[in-house]
């Protein structure tokens, strides 16, 4: 097995709980804390997006679980596509998945600033202050990941446990003080229900995107072919249950008209029941949550770039490690790209900039899911015929169709920007290709 040659010291190994904390910590972040605002215009039908996205994410988790047993190596979705479809497809996924991570970090930093504005309103009132605060946060997290994997992993476990508490608190608060009259109409938009569901599924997928990050640091994972599948399935059920209940709880507390324009919907909901003290308590939880998600996405961005560089699909500088063995150069370049995205999009305003980053990151990740499903078809050709193979074919087909459906819901603008970003990566592939 691949992991038999690891350093005998296990203090750098990631076990089930650290793996679970990476997946859940990356997924439960700014997404759920901003999603009530983004879903408010779509009525009650919009809430069913959680169930569709949850079911689709479970398909993705099961599909990735099969792939990680075949290829228990660093890189996650990139590694599976590269092994099954070749270097060019592998580069496309490494590039787009790296973009997904840096777009996610940018969006999460924006959400952090939005909630910090509850305590320091001047920050959200000034776009310059908002940008400076987001940049300071990003480079602090980059420095933490460069320092050591151990520091990053410990921070991830603690932040994941802490971030779940305010979500549970909000669930209890919402169902205790609920006002059913606050629930919106089933479909207050002019959209056909099918089009509405496609749109909200893509929006909601932002809150599930991240579970696959548990597959990326496989070289540091204890028995990855066994641990990662357990982590993925446990993470999906954890976050689906929490998301559905907390979204319904907030809809019962705050009218949709108020939610639509709130940069801190959880704080708004808590203030309805407990006043400023409740808003402050929930805001602290939201800030911790976004920090954990920032850390997990930054960790993933560095490891994906490192994995691609090891396969000669990115410049050799990306293999440069720090004294503690972390991909220092990859983290630094990721930080620069994240900073550039923030500079380019802060003119949109907090909510619009967050929405753009969320959709861009989600679409890029969905492309990785679709390519992974196609890659599994390649491996299945050499599997013996039988019921197990038939189930795997059905699973891969369903995963591909779900990813296609969610990509369709992103809209043409986001698809266009994603295509342009892919084109930007083409010269890099040409330069490093052997």
Fold of 2-432: Amino acid/polyamine transporter I (1.20.1740)
For residues 148 and 331, the model is more confident at 331
CA distance 413 to 326: 36
Note the pLDDT tens digit of each residue in 32-66.
777 888 888 888 888 888 888 888 888 888 888 88
pLDDT at 125: 78
C-alpha of 201 from chain center:
14
CA distance 76 to 23: 12
Residue 94: closest CA among 111, 81, 112: 81
Note the pLDDT tens digit of each residue in 379-388.
998 888 888 8
Residue 28 has pLDDT above 50, yes or no: yes
Percentage of residues in the chain having pLDDT higher than 70: 87
Note the pLDDT tens digit of each residue in 216-249.
665 666 676 677 778 888 888 888 888 889 888 8
Note the pLDDT tens digit of each residue in 344-372.
766 666 667 777 777 777 888 888 889 99
Q: Band of the pLDDT at 400, cuts 50, 70, 90?
A: very high
pLDDT at 216: 62
CA distance 422 to 338: 17
For the stretch 317-332, what's the b/e string if a residue is b when 16 or more beta carbons lie within 10 angstroms of its beta carbon?
Answer: ebbeeeeeebbbbbbb
For residues 364 and 136, the model is more confident at 136
For residues 182 and 214, the model is more confident at 182
Q: Band of the pLDDT at 150, cuts 50, 70, 90?
A: low
pTM of the full structure: 0.71
pLDDT at 2: 37
Lowest mean pLDDT among 38-42, 215-219, 297-301, 406-410: 215-219
Residue 78 has pLDDT above 90, yes or no: no
Do 72 and 224 meet the contact criterion of CB atoms below 8 Å apart? yes
């Amino acid at each position: 097995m691949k992991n038999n040659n690891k350093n005998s010291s296990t203090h750098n190994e990631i076990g089930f709980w650290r793996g679970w904390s990476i997946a859940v910590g990356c997924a439960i972040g700014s997404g759920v804390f901003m999603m009530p605002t983004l879903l408010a215009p779509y009525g009650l039908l919009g809430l069913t997006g959680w169930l569709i996205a949850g079911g689709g994410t479970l398909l993705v988790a099961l599909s990735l679980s099969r792939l990680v047993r075949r290829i228990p190596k660093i890189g996650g979705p990139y590694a599976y596509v590269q092994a099954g479809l070749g270097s060019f497809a592998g580069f496309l996924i490494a590039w787009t998945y790296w973009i997904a991570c840096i777009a996610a970090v940018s969006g999460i930093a924006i959400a952090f600033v939005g909630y910090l504005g509850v305590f320091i309103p001047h920050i959200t009132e000034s776009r310059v202050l908002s940008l400076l605060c987001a940049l300071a946060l990003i480079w602090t997290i980059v420095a933490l990941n460069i320092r050591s994997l151990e520091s990053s992993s410990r921070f991830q476990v603690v932040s994941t446990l802490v971030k779940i508490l305010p979500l549970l608190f909000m669930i209890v608060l919402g169902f205790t003080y609920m006002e059913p009259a606050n629930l919106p109409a089933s479909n207050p938009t002019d959209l056909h229900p099918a089009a509405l569901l496609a749109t909200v599924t893509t929006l909601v997928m932002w809150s599930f995107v991240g579970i696959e990050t548990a597959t990326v640091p496989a070289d540091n994972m204890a028995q990855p072919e066994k641990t990662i599948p357990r982590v993925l399935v446990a993470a999906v059920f954890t976050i689906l249950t929490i998301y559905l209940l907390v979204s319904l709880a907030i809809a019962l507390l705050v009218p949709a008209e108020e939610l639509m324009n709130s940069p801190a919907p959880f704080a708004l909901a808590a203030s309805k029941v407990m006043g400023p003290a409740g808003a402050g308590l929930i805001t602290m939880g939201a800030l911790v949550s976004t920090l954990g998600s920032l850390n997990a996405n930054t960790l993933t961005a560095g490891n994906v770039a490192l994995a691609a560089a090891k396969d000669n699909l990115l410049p050799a500088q990306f293999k440069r490690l720090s004294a503690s063995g972390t991909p220092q150069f990859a983290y630094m370049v990721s930080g620069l790209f994240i900073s550039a995205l923030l500079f380019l999009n802060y003119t949109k305003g907090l909510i619009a900039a967050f929405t753009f980053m969320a959709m861009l990151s989600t679409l890029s990740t969905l492309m990785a899911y679709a390519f992974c499903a196609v890659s599994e078809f390649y491996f299945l050709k050499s599997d013996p015929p039988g019921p197990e193979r038939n189930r795997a074919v059905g699973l891969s087909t369903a995963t591909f169709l779900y990813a296609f459906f969610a990509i369709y819901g992103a809209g043409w603008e986001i698809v266009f920007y994603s295509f342009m970003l892919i084109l930007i990566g083409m010269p890099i592939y040409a330069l490093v290709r052997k």
